[in-house]
Amino acid sequence: MAAPFVQGRLRKEHLSVAIRTECAHCAQPMHITVDSELRYSVDEEGAEPLVFEPHINWETFTEPNIIHAY
């Protein structure tokens, strides 16, 4: 599944996804929710994961998939 910020913008729909992962450094579990506007929340207090959006001009994006935009 593609990230919600990609699918949501391509389909012009509001989407969100819940991610269960862990810290690469200490292996502490993390639960992150990200939506199609790249708003995110983290359930674990004090956790500060890096969440970012690819630098793509979504207004002019016409490629068949996000890989072609790079």
What's the pLDDT band for 1 if we cut at 50, 70, 90? very low
Say how far apart CA 56 and CA 26 lie, in whole Å: 32
The predicted model gives 53-59 an average pLDDT of 76
**Which amino acid belongs to residue 68?**
H
Say how far apart CA 7 and CA 25 lie, in whole Å: 30
The predicted model gives 55-59 an average pLDDT of 80
For residue 17, the SS3 value is strand
The pLDDT of residue 4 is 60
pLDDT digits (tens, 9 = 90+) for 16-51: 889 899 988 889 999 999 888 878 899 999 888 876
Say how far apart CA 15 and CA 56 lie, in whole Å: 19
